[in-house]
């Protein structure tokens, strides 16, 4: 039979163990909360930095752009200017253009240089895309639950998953809010290097009448610092099955690769056309 003082000692030990366990649980919970707050604070800082760069960085570049979809496979050379951008087709499905195709492409370029209405429409479309990108960027801190997955020097990998308390307000944000994945950021510069995601659930519009994006679709975007403080997309892969009547770029199968970046000296479309004329 346990003696009274032994029973008291055992009870005391049990209470101490329970107290110690409770402390561990509280500390672990606090650590998890702190890490979640750190992750959200980091992605918030990155988003703000990207929005500032989109607003203030007006650098223009020229580069090769290889775009592959089920319908086409083209390599173009693109020159950016303050007036917009021009591109010249170099290859089609891995083959150089024929003389007739080159002439047709040159005629297209000269037509765009002279067609103010076409360039205004192109600039309007580009501005719409930029605004849409900014709006989706703003959703990242609030639309997901964030956690730190790993750290390697300045590079930090963040995991994200949908926040069930978040209510998307646009068709585009509904698709984004159904994603889970990872973002790799350069903590030293607060810039986004990689974002990859997977559609966790089907996304339907109008009970599927106006569109449906299928669960399991993926996207990945790679960005690199091509000059000090200047980041550009170098690779994009979108493989989402389905259709949506409300936007063109979501619900597609497309791989895009950009390379050979260098500053563009062109100040207008005519100068861009002259640069493209030297590209073979």
* Range with lowest mean pLDDT among 19-23, 47-51, 189-193: 19-23
Distance CA 223, CA 233 (A): 4
In 43-190, beta strands by DSSP E: 61-68, 73-81, 84-92, 95-96, 144-152, 155-162, 179-186
Confidence at 210, pLDDT banded by 50, 70, 90: low
pLDDT, position 170:
78
Give residue 244's pLDDT. Answer: 55
Ramachandran quadrant class, 184 (left: phi over 0; alpha: psi -120 to 50; beta: rest): beta
Q: What is the mean predicted confidence (pLDDT) over 262-269?
A: 96
Question: What residues contact 2, with CB distance under 8 A and at least 6 apart?
Answer: 10
Q: What is the mean pLDDT of residues 188-215?
A: 81
- pLDDT computed for residue 134 by the predictor: 87
Q: Which pLDDT band, with edges at 50, 70 and 90, does 17 fall under?
A: low
Which pLDDT does position 245 carry in this prediction?
46
Return the pLDDT at 132. Answer: 78
**pLDDT tens digits, residue range 60-76?**
999 999 999 999 999 99
pLDDT value, residue 11: 46
* 266: CB partners within 8 A, 6+ apart: 60, 62, 79, 80, 81, 272, 274, 275
pLDDT tens column, 89-108: 999 999 999 999 999 999 99
Of residues 202 and 72, more confidence is placed in: 72
Angle between helix 116-143 and helix 4-56 axes, rounded to 10 deg:
170
**Average pLDDT along the chain:** 83
Mean pLDDT, residues 101-122 = 88
pLDDT higher than threshold 60 for residue 274 = yes
Half-sphere exposure of 274 (CA within 13 A, CB side): 9
Q: Which DSSP state fits 98?
A: P
Q: Please give the structure tokens belonging to residue 183.
A: 């973002």
Can you give the pLDDT at residue 246? 45
Using a pLDDT cut of 90, give the percent of the chain over it. 57
Q: Calculate the alpha carbon distances from 153 to 178, 226, 231 in Å.
A: 30, 20, 19
Strands in 4-154 per DSSP E? 61-68, 73-81, 84-92, 95-96, 144-152
Rounded to whole angstroms, how far apart are CA atoms 253 and 127?
23
% of the chain beyond a pLDDT of 70: 81
C-alpha pair distances (Å), 135 with each of 33, 138, 183: 27, 5, 17
At residue 30 the predicted structure's pLDDT band, cuts being 50, 70 and 90, is: very low
Per-position b or e across 210-229, b if 16+ CB within 10 A of its CB = ebbbeeebebbbbbeebeee
Q: Find the mean pLDDT for residues 52-62.
A: 94
What is the C-alpha radius of gyration for the chain, rounded to an integer number of angstroms?
26
């Amino acid at each position: 039979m346990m003696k009274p003082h032994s029973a008291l000692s055992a009870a005391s030990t049990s209470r101490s163990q329970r107290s110690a366990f409770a402390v561990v649980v509280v500390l672990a919970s606090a650590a998890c909360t702190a890490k979640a707050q750190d992750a959200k604070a980091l992605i918030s800082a990155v988003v703000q930095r990207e929005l500032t760069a989109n607003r203030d960085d007006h650098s223009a570049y020229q580069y090769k752009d290889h775009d592959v979809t089920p319908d086409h496979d083209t390599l173009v050379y693109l020159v950016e200017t303050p007036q917009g951008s021009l591109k010249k087709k170099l290859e089609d499905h891995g083959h150089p253009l024929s003389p007739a195709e080159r002439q047709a492409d040159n005629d297209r370029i000269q037509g765009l240089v002279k067609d103010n209405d076409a360039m205004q429409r192109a600039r309007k479309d580009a501005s719409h895309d930029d605004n849409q990108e900014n709006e989706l960027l703003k959703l990242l801190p609030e639309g997901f639950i964030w956690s730190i997955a790993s750290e390697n020097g300045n590079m930090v990998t963040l995991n994200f998953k949908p926040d069930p308390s978040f209510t998307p307000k646009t068709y585009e944000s509904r698709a984004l809010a159904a994603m889970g994945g990872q973002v790799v950021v350069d903590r030293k510069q607060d810039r986004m290097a990689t974002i990859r995601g997977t559609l966790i659930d089907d996304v339907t519009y109008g009970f599927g009448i106006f569109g449906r994006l299928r669960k399991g679709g993926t996207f990945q975007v790679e960005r690199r610092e091509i000059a000090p403080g200047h980041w550009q997309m170098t690779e994009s892969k979108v493989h989402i099955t389905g259709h949506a009547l409300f936007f063109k770029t979501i619900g597609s199968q497309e791989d895009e690769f950009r390379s050979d970046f260098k500053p563009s000296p062109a100040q207008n479309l005519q100068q861009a056309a002259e640069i493209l004329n030297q590209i073979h």
